[in-house]
Amino acid sequence: MFEPLITMKMPSNKLVEEVLKGSIDMHVHATRGNIERRVSFLEAAIDARNRGMRALAFKFLYFPVNQEISEAKKIVPEVELIGGFCLDECGLNAERTETVAGEGCRILWFPANTAVNNRICQGLAGGLYILNEEGNLKREVYPILEIVKQYNMVLASGHMSFAEVEALFAAANNMGIKRLFATHPLAEFLYEPFTASQIERLADMGAYIEHCFCHGTPRIGSMDPMKWYRCINTIGADRTILCTDMAQVTDPPPAEGMRMFIALLLALGISKGDVEKMVKMNPARLLGLE
Amino acid sequence: MARYLQMLTQKTPSGDVIDHLWKGSIDIHIHFAPDPGTRRRWDGYTTAEEAHKAGMRGVVLKSHHIPSIQTAYAVQKIFPDVNVCGSICLDENMGGLTEVGLESLIANAKMGCKVVWFPLESRFSHVLRPNLAGAGAYILDDNGKMLPIIDEFLKVIKDYDMLLCNGHLSYEESVPLFEHARKIGIDKMVATHPFYDCLWNPYTMEQVKDLADRGVYIEHCYRECLPLSGSHDPMEYVAAIKRCGAERTILSTDHAQITDDSPAEGMRAFIAMMLQLGISESDMELMVKKNPAFLLGLPYPIPENEDFSKNKEW
């Protein structure tokens, strides 16, 4: 049984909507081609506009999505729509990174579904691993980081292991890459969710720590929301960003997920000011929207 | 982790399959705003509006404190394509299980109320709360026999062809309740979320199976699986469906707290999750469409162009 249920103080609809207004979701999935999600780019954008959200960043694992985004922007100019690219299909490919960066992609995710760390959990062998046998970054990672620096992109950790992420961020620190994003380190589908001290270490390296609402939904295993709560209290709202990682075809639309996430954290007793930092100020700063 | 893996190995259903089941579904368990017990997000109007947008066939509005028939009556006129039902919970506010409560039930039945829940504030629902131990409704006497007045309640339910839900009664109370109901000819009976582990010690699988064998429909609610309601493992629903049969099961949401999406969205997520866990489309059809239609006295298959506002003038 979830203890806080009895003592929780539910926020008002008005308060939740105030916080939702102006919020940014940095981790949205939309339908493209034969990859079916709950909403199209345009539907996600319209829904975000109707709720007064400020920006959405789309993560795509297989293709760059700049074209879809520029089309949706014409119809929904009120919402900032941002493209993100993931080094899944193409592997550690600097050339591809440069192409998508030149087309306007602002977030680069390191391997997600193809990361060894992710595949082990699914009982699959092989996958991408960015360290060599000595435990140092593989040589092909550096040209990619050069491009991230050159285009001032957000460097997101994907689904890699802690050892990989720590090495990647250390190299990024040395090169002066400022925008670091540790993606959902508490997610339980990672082979081993990051520990509190590992997450603290990444925050100390200057990374923002991401939590995603979809991991608290029943279809993915109903993660205990107190894990988020405790992590936020340890790391601080100043270094945390809340996203949805939605929507699979089984999920509610992403903007709805964002609202539910905000309501949940307010109900758990996190202050309005802190939630606003995590859904407005911090993502704006990381994306350079200020 | 184990649970995530369970989900991961299943095939994600297509949007078309989910939406086909969603359309025409009926949710018999929805809490709405305003509610003196807690803050809620969706009122009777917005609940029905979302159901209407989804193409759902029906919603039952429930409140622990106030009969919902008047809200349902007004909202029904705005959304004639959604069967908006009122209900009554036989709690203290309604007079409890007394002569006064009986009068409340009759009054509601006369206004068209079709769904009755036995008390939510029951002795059984307080077992995990030491400060409330011993308090709350209990329908058996010291010898384990059902209190005579319960017969009177059941007669009204029978006379007005209402749906009998056991609310938060224990298994030991539910057996004589449903047995007696069946004896006098009540065929619309629901065991309300028997696995709910947030408030009480859940019914065992054997108890649930026993009630199903006595002709009771077993209700499972999506909200129980949400983190703030105890993250109930949905695999237990899957097991119960296999044990009791989809033809004896209904799925509803028990939405919505302030932290939830709309009841309609909750229904969709529930359908999607159960498909993902391997329940067949035809079984889902029974549990979200056919069985709840029977329990609310609606025809099945669904006739075209239904207008629920027409037959609800009273």
In order of A272, B179, B246, B298, the CA distances from B209 in angstroms are 46, 15, 12, 26
Q: Which of B238, B212, B222 is nearest to B291 (CA)?
A: B212
Please answer yes or no on whether B41 and A5 come within 8 Å at the CB atom: no
Rounded to 5°, the CA angle A49-A55-A60 comes to 110
Using CB atoms, which residue from B7, B230, B259 is nearest to A2? B230
pLDDT tens digits for range B82-94:
999 999 999 999 9
Name the DSSP letter for residue B125.
G
What local confidence, expressed as pLDDT, does residue B8 receive? 61
**Of residues B36 and A78, which shows the higher confidence score?**
A78
What local confidence, expressed as pLDDT, does residue A149 receive? 98
Q: Which of A135, A124, A93, A88 is nearest to A109 (CA)?
A: A88
Query: What does B139-165 look like in DSSP terms, one character per residue?
Result: -B-TTSPBPHHHHHHHHHHHHTTPEEE
User: What is the number of residues in chain B?
Assistant: 314
Complex ipTM over 0.90: yes
Mean pLDDT (chain B, rounded): 94
- Mean local confidence (pLDDT), B18-26: 98
* Beta-ladder partners of B251: B220
pLDDT tens digits for range B233-290:
999 999 999 999 999 999 999 999 999 999 999 999 999 999 999 999 999 999 999 9
Name the DSSP letter for residue A90.
S
Residue B8: list chain A partners with CB under 8 A. Answer: 121-122, 189
* Lowest-confidence pick of A193-202, B123-132, B262-271: B123-132
Residue A65 has pLDDT above 80, yes or no: no
What local confidence, expressed as pLDDT, does residue B126 receive? 86
Residue A1 has pLDDT above 50, yes or no: no
Question: Is residue A9 a contact partner of residue A269, using CB atoms and an 8 Å limit?
Answer: yes
Residue A5 has pLDDT above 70, yes or no: no
How do A107-109 and A154-156 pair as beta strands?
Answer: parallel
pLDDT tens digits for range B228-239:
888 899 999 999
- One-letter amino acid identity for B120? L
Please answer yes or no on whether A36 and B14 come within 8 Å at the CB atom: yes
Distance between start and end Cα atoms, chain A: 42
**Of residues B313 and A263, which shows the higher confidence score?**
A263
CB-count burial class (<10 Å; 0-12, 13-18, 19+) for B305: exposed
- Mean local confidence (pLDDT), B191-209: 92
Work out the pLDDT band at B198, boundaries 50, 70, 90. Answer: confident
Question: How far B267 CA lies from chain A's nearest CA (Å)?
Answer: 10
CB-count burial class (<10 Å; 0-12, 13-18, 19+) for B313: exposed
What local confidence, expressed as pLDDT, does residue B133 receive? 83
Residue B273: list chain A partners with CB under 8 A. Answer: 218-219, 250
Q: Which of B204, B271, B278 is nearest to B244 (CA)?
A: B204
> Could you tell me if A205 lies within 8 Å of chain B, comparing CB atoms?
no
What local confidence, expressed as pLDDT, does residue A6 receive? 58
Extract the runs of DSSP E, i.e. beta strands, from chain A.
Answer: 24-28, 55-60, 80-86, 107-109, 154-156, 180-182, 208-212, 240-243
- Mean local confidence (pLDDT), A279-289: 97
Q: Which of A45, A150, A42 is nearest to A94 (CA)?
A: A150
Please answer yes or no on whether B14 and A249 come within 8 Å at the CB atom: yes
3-state secondary structure at position B300:
coil
Number of cross-chain residue pairs from A and B with Cβ atoms under 8 Å apart: 107
Residue A263 has pLDDT above 60, yes or no: yes
What local confidence, expressed as pLDDT, does residue A64 receive? 62
pLDDT tens digits for range A81-132:
999 999 998 999 999 999 999 988 999 999 999 999 999 888 889 999 999 9
Residue B1 has pLDDT above 60, yes or no: no
Calpha distance B218→B239 (Å, rounded): 12
